[in-house]
């Protein structure tokens, strides 16, 4: 299911679960996904408090969102050590919802079990702090598509809300396999164990807020402030194609699914603020199938004069996975986006326009 290029205009939320004007917390606000979550919340009439590790380094966010939505609607809060006792107490004070986007992004993690245990101390710390704040009505936690499965274009797989990447967990724990042969399995296992641990905490403690997780696959599209953000996260991988760098990593990545930055941001708005209330669900942020080979083809079609300078990406075919992404499309429709997910072609074009701003 794809979308047209018709510009999206936010429409008023009917019977909102969290009313416009309320304050919503977005963690890791300088990141690719989180900056779009903040941007979409502001576009839909909410105030946003964004946490970062360094307020000095990320001061540009205040200027960015003031220019886009008006002054005084976005506030920046420094949380330098998220694992410190009580680290999240000031962040959750007075907020009505939480978009918890901050999480491990180190693809080279060595020990999934140790990494997950360390991360869960501060992930559940935020959930505990939110549970102690009576005004919080909804929390959305960011997981990963890789917590559900290991992409492999040669296999036909059907994912459901009960799918977990036990394959990656088993491989990560297998001491007979060397680290190089495990590839990205350890990172995938980390994401699996962390999301499982978060759900275990929620089931055990039964907090008073609605709780859901979002599992985005590869995120591509516009970067809101390339001069200050660069081209971060998986959007930066599309830039690798353009720059002909890190080709070995690109050729490790199997065809799978992608989601546009703006669609991702709107999923959080829909989960936090719309009715009927959604709770206890894993929402798959899967817009369309993609591969970096196809990304390279699109870039060559858009910019033929640069084609010879781009990375030579291997063609691994096309993903065959059946995914439950209709629920996400339904949530986008609650915000007036009835055409479904944004297309790969449109997102790659937006992605490229972001890095071209850096190169001018």
Whether pLDDT at 255 is above 90:
yes
Residue 8: predicted pLDDT: 58
Name the nearest CA neighbour of 238 among 175, 293, 276, 277: 293
Residue 237: predicted pLDDT: 97
Name the nearest CA neighbour of 290 among 153, 154, 110: 153
Q: What is the CATH number of domain 23-220+259-288+322-341?
A: 3.40.50.720
Of the pLDDT bands very low, low, confident and very high (cuts 50, 70, 90), residue 3 is very low
User: Strand pairing of 97-100 and 74-78?
Assistant: unpaired
Q: How far apart are CA 61 and CA 188, in angstroms?
A: 30
SS3 288: strand
What is the average per-residue pLDDT within 209-231?
97
| Contact yes or no for 316/250 (Cβ under 8 A) | no
Whether pLDDT at 5 is above 50:
no
Residue 105: predicted pLDDT: 82
| % residues pLDDT > 90 (the chain) | 93
| % residues pLDDT > 70 (the chain) | 98
- CA separation, residue 94 to residues 1, 135, 323 (Å): 39, 7, 37
**DSSP letters for 318-343:** ----B---HHHHHHHHHTT-TT-BPP
Whether pLDDT at 309 is above 80:
yes
Residue 275: predicted pLDDT: 96
Cis peptide before 276 (omega within 30 of 0): yes
Query: In degrees to the nearest 10, what's the CA dihedral of 28, 29, 30, 33?
Result: 90
Tens-place pLDDT, residues 17-64: 999 999 999 999 999 999 999 999 999 999 999 999 999 999 999 999
Q: When comparing pLDDT for 144 and 7, which is higher? A: 144
Task: Judge if pTM exceeds 0.85.
Answer: yes
Question: What number of other Cβ atoms are within 10 A of residue 150's Cβ?
Answer: 20
Whether pLDDT at 2 is above 50:
no
Buried b (16+ CB within 10 A) or exposed e, 126-145: bbbbbbebeebbbbbbbbbb
Name the nearest CA neighbour of 193 among 247, 144, 135: 144
Partners of 212 in beta bridges: 140
**For residue 321, what are its two tokens?**
């996975």
Domain boundaries, given as residue ranges, for the chain: 23-220+259-288+322-341
Whether pLDDT at 198 is above 60:
yes
**For residue 78, what are its two tokens?**
């420094």
Which alpha helices (DSSP H) does the chain contain, by range?
Answer: 32-43, 60-69, 89-92, 112-131, 166-173, 179-182, 185-205, 226-229, 235-243, 247-250, 261-273, 292-302, 326-334, 344-359
Residue 4: predicted pLDDT: 36
Of the pLDDT bands very low, low, confident and very high (cuts 50, 70, 90), residue 11 is confident
Of the pLDDT bands very low, low, confident and very high (cuts 50, 70, 90), residue 218 is very high
Q: How far apart are CA 32 and CA 36, in angstroms?
A: 7
Whether pLDDT at 245 is above 60:
yes
What is the average per-residue pLDDT within 288-295?
98
Tens-place pLDDT, residues 226-244: 999 999 999 999 999 999 9
Whether pLDDT at 71 is above 80:
yes
Whether pLDDT at 138 is above 80:
yes
Whether pLDDT at 6 is above 50:
no
Residue 139: predicted pLDDT: 98
Tens-place pLDDT, residues 325-334: 999 999 999 9
């Amino acid at each position: 299911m794809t979308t047209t290029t018709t510009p999206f205009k936010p429409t008023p939320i009917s019977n909102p679960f969290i009313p416009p004007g309320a304050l919503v917390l977005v963690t890791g606000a300088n990141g690719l996904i989180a900056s779009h979550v903040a941007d979409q919340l502001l576009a839909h009439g909410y105030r946003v408090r964004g946490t970062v590790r360094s307020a000095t380094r990320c001061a540009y966010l205040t200027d960015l969102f003031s220019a886009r939505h008006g002054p005084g609607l976005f506030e920046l809060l420094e949380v330098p050590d998220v694992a410190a006792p009580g680290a999240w107490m000031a962040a959750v004070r007075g907020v009505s919802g939480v978009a918890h986007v901050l999480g491990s992004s180190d693809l080279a993690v060595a020990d999934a079990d140790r990494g997950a245990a360390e991360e869960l101390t501060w992930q559940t710390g935020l959930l505990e702090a939110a549970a102690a704040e009576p005004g919080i009505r909804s929390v959305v936690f960011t997981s990963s598509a890789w917590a559900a499965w290991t992409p492999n274009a040669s296999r036909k797989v059907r994912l459901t809300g009960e799918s977990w990447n036990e394959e990656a967990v088993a491989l990560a724990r297998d001491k007979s396999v060397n680290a190089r042969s495990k590839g990205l399995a350890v990172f995938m296992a980390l994401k699996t164990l962390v999301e499982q641990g978060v759900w275990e905490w929620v089931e055990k403690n039964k907090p008073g807020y609605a709780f859901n997780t979002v599992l985005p696959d590869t995120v591509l599209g516009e970067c809101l402030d390339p001069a200050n953000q660069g081209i971060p996260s998986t959007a930066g991988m599309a830039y690798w194609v353009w720059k002909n760098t890190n080709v070995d990593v690109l050729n490790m990545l199997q065809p799978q699914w992608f989601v546009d930055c703006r669609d991702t941001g709107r999923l959080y708005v829909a989960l936090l603020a719309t009715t009927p209330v959604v709770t206890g669900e894993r929402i798959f942020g899967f817009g369309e199938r993609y591969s970096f080979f196809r990304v390279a083809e699109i870039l060559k079609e858009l910019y033929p004069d640069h084609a010879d300078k781009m990375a030579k990406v291997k063609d691994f075919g096309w993903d065959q996975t059946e995914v439950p992404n209709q629920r996400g499309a339904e949530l986008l429709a609650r915000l007036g986006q009835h055409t479904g997910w944004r297309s790969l072609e449109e997102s790659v074009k937006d992605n490229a326009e972001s890095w071209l701003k850096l190169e001018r």
